[in-house]
Every structure is written in structure tokens, then in C-alpha cells.
Structure 1
Amino acid sequence: MKRSDLPSLDDLRAFETVARLGSVRKAAEALALTHGAVSRRVAKLSEDLGFDLLERDGRGIRPTAAGQALHQTVGRCFGEIGATIEGLRATLQQSGTLVVSCEPSVAMRWLIPRLPSFQAAQPDVAVHLSVGGGPVEFRRDRIDLAIRRLDFALPESWHVQRLFAEHVGPVMSPGLVAGFSAGHYLALGSKTRPDAWPNWLAAHPSARRPSEIRYLDHHFLVVEAAAAGLGVAMSPRILAVDDIERQRLVAPAGFDADGSHYGLIRTGGLPLTEQASAFCQWLKAQVGSFGR
């Protein structure tokens, strides 16, 4: 068989997980996919190969004879791939490299300004910062730790350390406070959370309404635009805290908890390296003032 004729790796992984766990439901949980998505991938693999891979076994399922043979080969190959990747990760970790993934706005407006203090305390640890939001591909992207807003499903095997609760509120340059109070202002929001302004206004019926709500692509753009005097930004507190301390921004209406939290995430199955443990302790100290 030509390499170009080989089945999809995602389909093989779905089948291998179902065959190993003996359940589509358990496989879906392990892969962070829906039950239907796993079933479709296995059905597609069976169709592409031209033979059945699974069969009923009482109230459960089991591999057919052909499926068992394929499962053994695929499992062995995945094991070898995993061992190779872990070896490469271990090499990177031993070299002092720590890969941290962080949401773009939090990275730009909060984490990066604080990283020099970590580097001063841990000069032998090279932090490689990558930006990204939502689900994390730890193995694929060789990520050690991830900082995320916890608004998506996480596998049970992952370790999550809550960092702080999310609080949002309107922030503006000091010169726009009078206009905000009088209702003569342009509201700035992020396209990533289009409901933030409507939700805040609904929760504060006595607040004056803006003349217009204008949306930018990311929160870091929204907060920077507010600091430049372009309008009033609906901002997470963590993104504005430094500019508020420097009096570049003010938050006359304060910040409200929105029920979500940020967390530090790592995959299960591997102990923390010394570098990762040092970063976790440092980060915990940095967010101490935000509370849980």
C-alpha cells in the first residue's frame, strides 16, 4: 500500500481508542470528542478499508478478528510514536526549555510584562511563549503548560490549577469619564465576546447607554484603543490592571465577576519538571492579588 493510500490518522486514533477502551463513550471522553464524531470516524475507517472493524459483544462492542489485528499494529505504532515524542520532550526539558501557551491578550498585556521577574529568578530556564486560545494540543505542539480561560471541556486526566476569577467592566482614559457618565461615548468590544457589552448594560440598567458599540478583533486591541482615548472598552480586569495602576486607564464602574475562571493546565501522565514546577509557583504568586 502506498503511503498516500493509508487511512486518516485521526480515524485510526479513534478506532484504536474505541478498541482499547471497549466503548465509544469512553473513547469520546478520552479524545475530547463527541460520541457521534468518534462513531463517524470509525465508520469511515471501516468503509475506507473495506471490512468491519467492530462487532457487538452483548451490550458492548469488541474488535472483529480483522479489527483486532489492526488494533495491535496501530497500538504498537502509536506507542512508538508516543515514546519518540516523549523522548524529544524530555530532551527539551533537560535543556531548560519550558513551552508555555497563553491566550493572546493575557500574554501581551499581563504575562509578558511580568516574565522578566521569572527570568531573573530562574536564569537557566528559557521560557518559549506561544499564543493560542481554547483547547490545547499538548503533544502535537510540545506544550508543557497552558494558561486558558476555562470555558471549554477538559479531559478528566488533565491537571487544572485555578488562577483567578474573570471580572469584566468598562475601562477608559481619565478624559472620557464625564462622557461615560453622561452617555456620550463610543463603546468598544471584542469580537471574541460580542455579548459582553449587552450583558453588562442589562446588569446595570441605570448606566447610560453608548452611542454605538464598535467591535475589534481582540481584547488587547480594545484595551489599547481605550487607553488611546478612542472609546470605552469592556475589558477583563486582568488586561487593564497595569494601566489602571499607572492611571492610564480608570474603571469608574468597577468590575463584575462573570462566573468563569482562568486556569493553568497541564496534561496528565507526566510529573512536573523542575522548570515547570518553578513556573507554577511563580505564576501562583503573581496572581495572588486576584483571588480564586
Structure 2
Amino acid sequence: MRNRKPTTSPRLPLEDLRVFDAVVRHGGIGAAADALALTQGAVSKRISALEAKAGVRLLERGSRKAAPTRAGLVLAASTAQALEALATAWQAVAVPAADAGAHRLAVSCERSLALRWLIPRLGGFQALHPEVVVHVQAGGGPVDFGAEGADVAIRRDDFAPGRAVQTAPLMPEPMALVLAPALLPAWRQAPRTVRRLHSATRPDAWAQWVLACPQADGVAGRAAAPSQMFEHWFLAIQAAESGLGALVAPVPLVADALAQGRLVAPHGSMAGQGAYVLLWPRGRRSVWRDRFMAWLRGQVPPAQ
């Protein structure tokens, strides 16, 4: 299939993505069809529809197996994580009848931080306090606690919160150049040949790293390198984990990937220009909110 301009659609093809995720996880259309209780023809039709909307081939199909293409690897990683995050959020929202009397705590969090840092840790709080149901909702910028119904919010400290909002620091936001371990030899030998990945939410991240990192001299900035822009941090990070290039990213968003060896940071980290803070409505008391905020602070390593 030739790359072509994707068909524009106002809606994300969630069902097609769910089927695509099943094909990648099970390694073939037949196995995915069995897992989803669909016919193979129905699965193939969904995959073809998704490729038509994306404008690029996502799977290399064999007689029995199907393997993701380079583009498919990026989409598969993001899709798997997004579906997992949706499942976690749904469990928090859809309270079983037996838990109808549970305490509810609504947390508004920036999307990438929720996916990459908060939700992977949330099970620890739920294990300590099973009587509390935490509802995570994505948000960014100033918080209207009345309209959003949030009890507490996590944001970058890049705006004035207003007099009606109380704030407290959560963690700094150091930055680091990260890439998949397989790309490390190429980065050390010929860094200008390694694609630079960017997030549209922080397009100046590379420029800041070049200015602040002593190791950047002779490594970046002297000549143009191939680059690729992604809309959000979690997409750019997934691309880095898939080996598509190097990325300058906030350390909290890649901390788990670094700890698990999916990414490496060959030059360490540098101080960022911001930090994450907790916000909540002034004058509104909540014992569970205070316990949740104390637990959150305990999730931040002393080195951060």
C-alpha cells in the first residue's frame, strides 16, 4: 500500500483500533478473530478500514501470521497503552453495586502525566484504601473545580492558579535525552543520523537541551538531522521506545521506561524549566484528598 493522504474523520476509529490491538497481541488475524469472537473476514475488514483511514500499511500479512510494520509498531504501542488506560479509568468510573457507598475522589491530571506516571502507580493507593474510588480525568491548564467536579488537580506550574485555588509542589520536571537501547551505538557513533523526535506540547525541548547540556557540544545542533513531530508526549515517548529516534523528554514521563530498560539516557538529566504542582479549591476540606496528596508525594523519588 502506498502512503497517501489519510481520509479525514471527526471520530477516532476506536473499534478498528481495538481489533488492530488484538491482531498485534495474538500475532495473526485468525487468532485475533477467535479472541474477539469475530470472523476472519470481519477482522480483515476492520484492519483494511483502519489502514485506509491512516493512509499507510500497518500490518504485513502472511498466510497465518501478521506482523506490524514500522508505522504499525508506533500505533500498536500507543494503542495498547491507551486501551489499558481506558480500562483503568472505566474501572474507576463504573463502580460495582457493592461499592456504591464508597468514597469517590476525582483527580484532574495532564494527559501524558496521567498515562505515563499516575495511572501505573494508582493501584498502590487503591490497595491501601480500597474504600476509595479514584476517578482520573484528563485536563490541562487552569482548573475550574466547580465545573469539572475535581477534588484535586496535577498540573505544570506554567500559569497563575488564581486566588480561589491553593497549591503545593509535587515534583520537579528534569529533562533527559532518551532513546531505545538498540539506537545507542548509532547515537554514539553518528548522532546526526539519528532521528530527533518532538512533542508539539514542548517544541523547544531540543533547543533547551542543546543549550543546557555540556555533552551536547559536538553531538547536536551543528547540522540538521531528520526529525518527526508528535501531538502529545505519550505518542513521542512510545515512538522513542519503538526505536524511531531520540527524544528530549520530562524525566517523570519516562522514569518507568528507564527503570525497566525500554529507554536509556546516555547523558543523564538536566534541570527543567518547570515543575508539577498540586492544586485544590481553597476552603474545601477533604480528608481523602489530603491522604491522596500525601500518598502522591510519597511516590516521588528523593532524587527527583
Q: How does the TM-score come out when normalised to structure 1?
A: 0.65
Structure 1 residue 95: deviation in Å? Answer: 4.8
1:198 alignment counterpart = 207
Query: Whole-Å Cα distance in 1 between the matches of residues 252 and 301 of structure 2?
Result: 12
| Equivalent in 98, 103, 122 of residue 129 of structure 2 | 122
Q: CA deviation at 1:208?
A: 3.2
Between the aligned partners of 2:255 and 2:218, the Cα distance in structure 1 is 25
Secondary structure in structure 1 of the residue aligned to 2:255: helix
Among 250, 253, 269, the residue aligned to 1:236: 250
Spell out, residue by residue over 1:52-76, the C-alpha distance to the aligned partner (whole angstroms, 9 max, x if none): xxxxxxxxxxxxxxxxxxxxxxxxx
TM-superposed deviation, 1:250? 0.2
Identical-pair percentage? 39
1:179, distance to aligned residue in structure 2 (A): 1.7
Separation in structure 2 between the aligned mates of residue 163 and residue 290 of structure 1, nearest angstrom = 13
Change (3 A) 1:290 1:144: farther
Q: Hey, what does 1:105 align to over in structure 2? A: 112
The DSSP-based 3-state class of the residue aligned with 1:117 is: helix
CA deviation after TM superposition for structure 1 residue 164, in Å: 1.2
* Aligned-pair CA distance for 1:288: 3.9
Cα distance, 1:165 vs structure 2 = 1.1
Select between 153-162 and 208-217 the one with higher mean Cα deviation.
208-217
Q: How does 1:109-258 map to 2 (within 5 A)?
A: 109-181=116-188, 182-183=190-191, 184-203=193-212, 204-209=216-221, 211-258=225-272
Q: 1:282 aligns to what?
A: 295
Distance 1:97 1:290, change over 3 A: farther
Partner AA of 1:233 in structure 2: L
Deviations 1:143-185 (A, max 9, x none): 1000001101111342111011111121111111122222220
**CA displacement 1:228-251 (0-9 Å, x = unmatched):** 111111110001110111111100
* 2:61 corresponds to: none
Measure the CA separation in 2 of the matches of 1:123 and 1:231.
Answer: 41
Q: Secondary structure, in 3 states, of the residue corresponding to 1:156?
A: coil
Distance, in Å, in 1 between the alignment partners of 2:220 and 2:165 is 44
What corresponds to 1:76 in structure 2? none
Q: In structure 2, how many angstroms separate the alpha carbons of the residues matched to 1:165 and 1:211?
A: 30
- How far is 1:126 from its partner? 0.4
> 1:188, 1:258 → 2: CA distance?
18
Contact persistence 1:149–1:263 (CA under 8 A): yes
Q: Give the match for residue 260 of structure 1.
A: 274
CA deviation map 1:100-159 (0-9, x unaligned): 000011100111010001000000100010001111111101110000011011113421
Q: 2: CA distance between counterparts of 1:199 and 1:188?
A: 14
SS at the partner of 1:243?
A: helix
Residue 221 of structure 1 and its aligned partner are, at CA, apart by 0.7
Q: Letter of the aligned partner of 2:268 in structure 1?
A: G
**Bigger Rg, which one:** 1
* 1:39 aligned residue: none
* Structure 2 unaligned residues grouped into runs of 5+: 1-100
1:12 aligned residue? none
Separation of aligned partners in 2, 1:223 and 1:231: 10
CA distance in 1 between counterparts of 2:112 and 2:254 reads 11
Paired residue total? 197
Residues 166, 225 of structure 1: alpha-carbon distance in 2 compared, 3 angstrom cutoff: same
Could you say what secondary structure the match of 1:287 adopts?
Answer: coil
Amino acid at match of 1:108: L
Task: Name the counterpart of 1:90.
Answer: none
Looking at structure 2, the residues matched to 197 and 166 of structure 1 have their Cα atoms a distance apart, in angstroms, of 15
TM-score of the superposed pair, with normalisation by structure 2: 0.62
Equivalent residue runs for 1:79-98 within 5 Å: 95-98=102-105
